[in-house]
Amino acid sequence: MCRGTEFEEVINFGDTPLVNGLLTEEEFGTEEVKNLTVVQCQKCFLVQIKDVVDSEEIYRNVDYLYFSSDMPELSNYFKIFAQYVGRRFLTYGDSVAEIGSNDGILLQHLREYNVLGIDPAINVALRALKRGIPTLPLFFTYKLAQKIKNEYGQFQLIAGFNCIAHLNDLNDVIMGVKELLTPDGVFVVECNYWGDMVKNTNYALIYHDHFSYFTLKNWVDYANKNKLKVFDAITTPAQGGSLRVFMAHNREMTDRCQNLLRDEEKSNLNSYEVAQKYGKSAHRKAKRLGNLIRRLKADGYSIAGYGAAAKGFSVLKLAGLDEKQIDFFVDDSPAKQDKFTPISHIPIYARDNIEEPDYFLITAPNYKDVIIKKEKEYIKNGGKFITINSEIIDGVH
């Protein structure tokens, strides 16, 4: 974001496979591992991946297995957002574009406007097209933005939900956004919030797909540098804690945005001191979980992962857990069922096709409450859940 060249290490996961690179049995042995180290720029204090993986490997060379519409309650989350921006920023006849539109989960709620999705994962773009949502299966770049402008004109609203952190060349992206945005248009970004990651010692959000972990100050400084202005921002509970930032060519900053900036300043969030403390706390938290799981396994209990999610694989890696402790995963996404995790080759099943374990480790932590609510019968029959905070949830607790 700032072209800085001085970095300090925050946390090192070691050599790690790409989290969404699930396998069939025939593909065993073809997976690669890549270093996963998080550092912090000492110029702008952006927290980021040290060794960036080529996006082609994540989104183009394999089937991308994250379909937004398969995620519990996510459609309603985007429906509420669509209604909000419709009331606040849009009128009949306006155009809306979404970068990283996945299978159209947001744009389906904005069909009354002229919508266009852009997503490089061909298989998810095809699903959006099947649902009747115009989608370009391409990476968003400045050159692409110029071509879109020639064909579609400019857009009153451009959104990027949980995708901007997946892009390495932010300068190219912001140039493209400025090219496509109408003079009074709004660019809204939602991304993982470093402030909540620190507050909750949340290390589950760290994996190769996430290149950056943002603060509000990161965005304010970056927008100013690019002749845009952050005028509003809020935090949301999505994905374990997200930051939603609104930018425009020229709008007055809201009180809630100013308050969030002041909170960051008071907590010294944009500092290496805080980042160091986070790294140490994350290692302690992961060690505690790993020790709990290994102790239960040594006592003869069966343990499965609930949700073959990217976040869960990060948890297992830092906690030092593999096929020796986790018997299998269950996942509601058909795209993941009957596949295996890379390296450890743990099988992934549909929830209905298993012999129930003594314990489920919730490896989709942002859906903990949804999972527990859904599994009342399992708990009633004596089943127990373990959270990434090493809590045990059963019929008593």
Residue-by-residue pLDDT tens, the chain, 397 positions: 899 999 999 999 999 887 777 899 999 988 888 899 999 999 999 999 998 876 655 554 455 555 566 665 778 889 999 999 999 999 999 999 999 998 899 999 999 999 999 998 888 889 999 999 999 999 899 999 999 999 999 999 999 998 887 777 889 999 999 999 999 999 999 999 999 999 999 999 998 888 999 999 999 999 999 999 999 999 998 877 899 999 999 999 999 999 999 999 999 999 999 999 999 999 999 999 999 999 999 999 999 999 998 888 889 999 999 999 999 999 988 889 999 999 999 999 999 979 999 999 999 888 888 899 999 999 999 999 999 999 999 865 4
**7-273 CATH pick, 3.40.50.150, 3.20.20.120, 3.30.70.1280, 3.30.70.1710:** 3.40.50.150
Please give the pLDDT value at position 31: 85
Phi, psi of 185 (to 5 degrees): -75, 170
Phi, psi of 321 (to 5 degrees): -110, 145
Q: Which residue has the tokens 């550092």?
A: 39
Please give the pLDDT value at position 71: 63
Short-list 187, 262, 169, CA closest to 227: 187
End-to-end C-alpha distance for the chain, whole angstroms? 46
Name the CATH superfamily housing domain 289-393. NAD(P)-binding Rossmann-like Domain (3.40.50.720)
Is 387 within 8 Å of 365 (Cβ atoms)?
Answer: yes
* Distance of alpha carbon 272 from alpha carbon 9, whole angstroms: 9
Chain centroid, CA 299 distance in Å:
35
Please give the pLDDT value at position 123: 84
Question: DSSP label at 385?
Answer: E
Record the tokens describing residue 386, joined without a space.
């373990």
* Distance of alpha carbon 320 from alpha carbon 285, whole angstroms: 12
- Please report the beta strands in the chain, taking only residues with DSSP state E, as ranges in sequence order: 7-17, 33-41, 47-49, 95-99, 114-118, 135-136, 155-161, 181-192, 212-213, 229-236, 242-248, 303-306, 329-330, 348-349, 359-362, 384-386, 392-393
* Distance of alpha carbon 20 from alpha carbon 308, whole angstroms: 9
Q: Which residue has the tokens 């370009």?
A: 136
The reply to whether 289-393 shares the fold of 7-273 is yes
**Secondary structure element (H or E) that encloses residue 374, with its range:** helix 368-374
CB proximity list for 105: less than 8 A, separation 6 or greater: 68, 69, 74, 75, 78
- Tell me the C-alpha to C-alpha distance, in Å, between residue 204 and each of 161, 283, 301, 364: 18, 12, 24, 9
Single pTM value for the model: 0.89
**Secondary structure element (H or E) that encloses residue 216, with its range:** helix 216-225
User: Which amino acid type is present at position 102?
Assistant: N
Environment class of 362 (CB within 10 Å of its CB; exposed 0-12, middle 13-18, buried 19+): buried
CB proximity list for 334: less than 8 A, separation 6 or greater: 70, 350
HSE on the CB side for 163, CA within 13 Å? 21
CB proximity list for 299: less than 8 A, separation 6 or greater: none
Please give the pLDDT value at position 61: 46
**How do residues 109-153 score in pLDDT, each as one tens digit?**
999 999 999 998 888 889 999 999 999 999 899 999 999 999 999
Short-list 107, 137, 136, CA closest to 122: 137
Query: Where along the chain do its domains lie?
Result: 7-273, 289-393
